[in-house]
Chain A
Amino acid sequence: MTHAAQASKAPEVGKPARRPHTKRPSRRAAETRAGYAFLTPWLLGFLGLTAGPMLASLYLAFTDYSLFRPPEWVGLDNFTRLFDDPRYLNSVEITLQYALIGTPLKLAAALGVAMLLHSRRRGQGAYRSFFYAPSLIGASVSIAIVWRAMFIDDGVVDRLGQGVGLEAGGWVGDPSMTVYMLILLTVWQFGAPMVIFLAGLKQIPNELYEAAEVDGAGPLRKFFRITLPMLSPVLFFNLVLETVHSFQIFGSAFIVSNGTGGPADSTMFYTLYLYFRGFRDFQMGYASAMAWVLVLFVGAITLFFFKTSKYWVHYSGEGR
């Protein structure tokens, strides 16, 4: 790379900048060499750690492979088995449940608190930082342990529930409640999208609201006609990011269920099941098929968001 950098500098040394006709080809070649020299670490990483492994897992998805035997081609077997596997279907179901309930709640909380904070200037910076804090630690093992301790039988949440007459028992041991416990954990981390919403709210020119007031628009109207459309690019960004991330919940589910995905597979989320199949049972072909279904699904969702965005995302100013 030093070589390339020197080569790129060579044409300029000594010679005046005129006479481009003879200099330009070598200069461009030097630029190309310098460009690829700078790109080399990323290219190695991209080819060796991303693109290569993606192709490899695509191949493995069509094989029966454990770490100890060579892969054996089985065609579409893994994929057809997936859709006959009740544990797999269960993992899809609870992951969708988690994403479809958790993401809207989290974004609603984020938007609500952002608008609340935006309505007053004083103390906004401090509140913003403070409310953001859970996003930084929420995915950690520590917080998952705390969550487990709080939602366990006779734990804090159970006691509070008893206080208002709910005899729900612990959420940790109740297969119908574990998903909601993790949804609360993700909603608790509304700070990150909130900060992004706040930045978006600051961009909305105040004149729009003033003009709307002159026209006699009420608060709901202003919200739906000004705030939401003006905020839609930010909302789009948050929606894509949060949805894609919510499909990948792993650590907190792992810890809360003490590494089992239980009780009764109720925390066996998609990636957890993938981990169990791939790294506990070493059915790496099967797990690769799972990974590819996830990628295709996430890709489809993202594409869906982008395709529909032209109907509801408004970019102000020139361009679209």
Chain B
Amino acid sequence: MSAATHSSTAAGSPAARRGDSTERGTGSAAVRGPAPAGGPDAARRSRRRARARGTGRTVLYHGFILAVGFVILYPGAWMVLSAFRPSNEIVGQVGLIPDDTTLDNFTTAFSGIGGISFWTFFGNSLFLAVGAVVGICLSSTFTAYAFARIDFPGKGLWFSLMIATLLLPFHVVIIPQYIMFNELGLVDTFWPLLLGKFLAAEAFFVFLMVQFMRNLPRELDESARIDGAGHLRIYWSIMLPLMRPVMVTASIFAFIWSWNDFFGPLIYLKSPENYTMPLALRQYVDQTTVSDYGGQMAMAVLALVPVLLFFIVFQRYIVDGVATSGLKG
């Protein structure tokens, strides 16, 4: 259904663009051109016609946008509103406005799973996400400093190896990593999920930082060096403060990716008290079999609250980050 709307907009938009320019063309012709020939009356008529056509296009444009917006919004709105419906009235409710509203689902969700509090899962996710933010901000800027600001033999090789890992499917490392962490007795701890963040294992963030740092004026660190500052000092006191904008972007994505991560926790976290929100959610769906859609929706909503808050507060940073660096959502 949505596929159809999408492909039709794809075909329709060049036409919309054409509409824009011809509209401008006829508009100016109407103002300047026919006035002496057809008199003021004809001029007014053609101007009105042009305006009507413009209005038609505006309506079409907004119609399309609204249609796309509705398709975008519907699943999310349906989820949120379903969470306020009685459990047996959720499946098959096409309409969005609930007849009966209830908070029971949220009571169920907050009561936790299998004797473990909702806040335990929430806290685990929060701890991992904050850890990811700190780890990535420190390790990727630190690494980027070496790549962008220091000249040393072998740099080119390491840099291209780093770039080569950008598109590497992580599945090729996950099995030996698991074996290694298992040998170390670290399965069912947060270590496997955090260590990589502190060792700049996600090349994307390193690349992002290198790109940003290369654009910072060299004179800054050169004058600092003349004043006797070492690299560590330049990194900490000059580079880090200047990198605040890119670090905000990186932090937002590090947080959200960690928060939504499913594969890592699924493999490494075994005991329910270590579960993150997505794992708890999955556990909940698994346990309740068919009936309790209300609880599932309430949990699903609660699991997305931090992400949505981030989005509302930082949407400019997020979307501009995507636009300028090609960060994926």
**Once the chains bind, are A113 and B68 in contact (CB under 8 Å)?**
yes
Question: Residue B37 at the A interface, CB < 8 A?
Answer: no
Residues on the A chain within 8 Å of B153, using CB: 32
**Once the chains bind, are A189 and B13 in contact (CB under 8 Å)?**
no
**Once the chains bind, are A145 and B281 in contact (CB under 8 Å)?**
yes
Residues on the A chain within 8 Å of B175, using CB: 53, 57, 60, 278, 284, 287-288, 291
**Once the chains bind, are A31 and B150 in contact (CB under 8 Å)?**
yes
**Once the chains bind, are B171 and A187 in contact (CB under 8 Å)?**
no
Q: Which residue of the partner chain B has the closest CB to A58?
A: B172
Question: Residue B240 at the A interface, CB < 8 A?
Answer: no
Q: Interface centre among A48, A51, A137, by most B CB within 10 Å?
A: A137
Residues on the B chain within 8 Å of A112, using CB: 6-7, 9-13
Contact of B75 among A36, A141, A147, A275 (CB under 8 A): A147
**Once the chains bind, are A42 and B139 in contact (CB under 8 Å)?**
yes
Q: Which residue of the partner chain A has the closest CB to B198?
A: A41
Q: Which residue of the partner chain A has the closest CB to B261?
A: A251
Residues on the B chain within 8 Å of A32, using CB: 152-153
* A189 and B329 contact, Cβ closer than 8 Å, known pairs A43-B158, A160-B94, A259-B286: yes
**Once the chains bind, are A219 and B14 in contact (CB under 8 Å)?**
yes
**Once the chains bind, are B323 and A8 in contact (CB under 8 Å)?**
no
User: Mostly helix, strand, loop or mixed at chain B's interface?
Assistant: helix
Q: Mark B1-36, 1 if CB is under 8 A from A, else 0.
A: 111001101111111111011000100000000000
Residues on the A chain within 8 Å of B233, using CB: 5, 9
Question: Residue A62 at the B interface, CB < 8 A?
Answer: no
Q: Which residue of the partner chain B has the closest CB to A33?
A: B152
Question: Residue A222 at the B interface, CB < 8 A?
Answer: yes
Q: Interface centre among B82, B91, B278, by most A CB within 10 Å?
A: B91
Residues on the B chain within 8 Å of A156, using CB: 78, 91-94
State the interface size on chain A (CB cutoff 8 A): 125
- In the complex, what's the smallest C-beta–C-beta distance from B170 to chain A, in angstroms? 8
Question: Residue B130 at the A interface, CB < 8 A?
Answer: no
**Once the chains bind, are A49 and B329 in contact (CB under 8 Å)?**
no
Q: Mark A208-247, 1 if CB is under 8 A from B, else 0.
A: 0100010000111011000100000000010011001101
Q: Which residue of the partner chain A has the closest CB to B64?
A: A116
**Once the chains bind, are B142 and A131 in contact (CB under 8 Å)?**
no
- In the complex, what's the smallest C-beta–C-beta distance from B133 to chain A, in angstroms? 16
A154 to B13, CA, bound (A): 35
**Once the chains bind, are A191 and B329 in contact (CB under 8 Å)?**
yes
* A142 and B303 contact, Cβ closer than 8 Å, known pairs A38-B142, A50-B165, A53-B180: yes
Contact of A115 among B13, B69, B72, B323 (CB under 8 A): B13
- In the complex, what's the smallest C-beta–C-beta distance from A126 to chain B, in angstroms? 9
**Once the chains bind, are A131 and B72 in contact (CB under 8 Å)?**
yes
**Once the chains bind, are A219 and B17 in contact (CB under 8 Å)?**
yes
**Once the chains bind, are B326 and A41 in contact (CB under 8 Å)?**
no
- In the complex, what's the smallest C-beta–C-beta distance from A128 to chain B, in angstroms? 6
Query: B residues bordering A, Cβ < 8 Å?
Result: 1-3, 6-7, 9-18, 20-21, 25, 61, 64-65, 68-69, 71-72, 75-76, 78-79, 82, 90-94, 139, 142-143, 145-147, 150-153, 155, 158, 161-162, 165, 167-169, 171-180, 182, 195-196, 198-201, 206, 225-226, 228-233, 235, 256, 260, 262-263, 266-267, 277-278, 281-282, 285-286, 293, 296-297, 299-301, 303-304, 307-308, 311, 315-316, 318-319, 322-324, 326, 328-329
Cβ contacts A to B, 18 pairs, < 8 Å: A5-B231, A38-B143, A53-B180, A57-B172, A113-B68, A116-B65, A129-B319, A130-B72, A136-B329, A137-B307, A192-B329, A219-B18, A237-B326, A244-B167, A251-B278, A259-B286, A275-B266, A284-B179
Sample of 17 further A-B pairs with CB below 8 A, known A50-B165, A132-B329: A6-B230, A38-B142, A49-B195, A67-B179, A119-B17, A132-B318, A132-B319, A134-B72, A136-B329, A139-B260, A142-B303, A149-B82, A156-B94, A183-B3, A227-B14, A284-B179, A287-B175
